[in-house]
Structure 1
C-alpha cells in the first residue's frame, strides 16, 4: 500500500505517447528531488533540469511545485498494486503490514514517501493529493475484506478503510510521531491487533 518511490534511471524507455512520457519524466524528477532535497528544497528549476522539460512548460501545465507534487501522487496511484492474497485473512493483514514496513526499511526506500508526508503538512494541495492516494488504496483493499467475509474469517459489514487504517496506524505513529525504529515484528504486531479487533466486529460501523 505504500507510495511507490523508485524512479527509473534517466533514459529509461516509457510506454505511451509523448504527453505520457513527459508526465512520467516530470513525475520521476519530482520523486528524485523529494528523495534528495525534501519538499522545501525542491524547485521547478530542479524538475526542469532533471526531467528535460522546460520550466515554462512546467509552469504552464502544472502551475508550480504544488501542482507538480499533486500530479506525482496521482501518477503514483495509477499503478497495478493489489492488496495481498495469501489465502487467509490474518495472512493478508500480516503481508499488508510488512509492505508498509518495507517501504520505510532504509533511507533510500523511505526518502520519497516520507517527503510526500512532510509536504502534506506544508501544502494543502499536497495534503489533498495524499488523502486521495490513500483513499484509492483503501478502496482496493475492499477485495481483501470481501474474501475474508466470504471465508467466514471476518463479520459482514467490516469497513475496509477502518481496518486498513488500524493496520498501518501503529507503524506510522512510530515513524512520524515517536520516531521509533520500525521492523517486521512491529508490523506483525499491528496486523495481529487489527485482525483480533476485526474478528470481534470492531470495524463494523455503528448504525
Structure 2
C-alpha cells in the first residue's frame, strides 16, 4: 500500500495504483513517516497512534517528526493531504457502464488490500488493511476537527476527479446533460463502503459489478438528474 489514496475511495492510476509525484530527501522522509502512520492505523487504530510508534516504525527520529508534524493530528492531516497528492484519474474505458465497473473494482481492490482490481480477498474473515485504515480515519474525523476538514477535502478531490466519468458519458450522449455526477458516483460506490465498513462483510467482484450496472442503468434512464 503506497498511501491513503490506495486504501480509500477512488484510488489508483486507472489500474489500482496511485502514482506519487517524485521528490528529494524531504519527500522521502515524508513518505516513510506517512507510510508508518498508515501501518500504525491499520494495526492499532487512531487511539493508539503515537509519534513514538511512528518514529520506531519509520526509522525517522522522533525529533524530526515533532518538528515537522508537531502532533498526532498533524500526522493524520498530512496523511489525508498526501492522499490528494497523486496523479490518479478514473479509467477511460469508452462507456459509462464499463467506467463504473472499473471504478468499483478499484474501490473494492483498495478496501480489500488487493494488488489487482479484479481480485480481492472476498471471503476473508479478518478486516483487510484497507478497510481498517479507512475506518480509523473516518473515526478520527469525528474527534479531530482538523482531520475532519482534511477528510472532507480528500473526498471532494476524489469526487471531482471521478466526475470526469459522468462528463465523458454526457459528451458521448449516454446521459442527460443535467445528470448530477455526485449522485451517480455515490449510488455506484456507496454499497461497497456500506458492506465493507459498516457491515464488516465481504463483497464479491460480481456484487461490485452489479452496483455499477444498476447505477449505469438508472443514470441512463435519467434518474440522477439535478433537481
TM range (shorter): 0.7 to 0.9
Structure 1 residue 70, shift from structure 2 partner:
1.0
TM-score, L = length of structure 2: 0.78
Q: Does 1:59 align with 2:66?
A: yes
Specify the alignment match of 1:4 in structure 2.
6
| RMSD after superposition | 2.0
Equivalenced residue count is: 197
Contact 2:131 2:197 in 1 (8 A): no
Alpha-carbon distance in 2 for matches of 1:198, 1:134: 22
Alpha-carbon distance in 1 for matches of 2:111, 2:70: 30
Q: Does 1:97 align with 2:104?
A: yes
**Structure 1 unaligned blocks of 5 or more:** 6-13
Alpha-carbon distance in 2 for matches of 1:79, 1:47: 23
1:127-161 superposed Cα distances (whole Å, 9 cap, x missing partner): 22222112101111222112111111111122222
Structure that is richer in helix per residue: 1
Contact 2:73 2:146 in 1 (8 A): yes
Structure 1 residue 15, shift from structure 2 partner:
4.1
TM-score, L = length of structure 1: 0.85
What pairs up with 1:23-42 in 2 under 5 angstroms? 23-42=30-49
Contact 1:3 1:113 in 2 (8 A): no
Q: Structure 1 179/186 Cα, relative in aligned 2: closer, same or farther at 3 Å?
A: same
Q: Does 1:154 align with 2:175?
A: yes
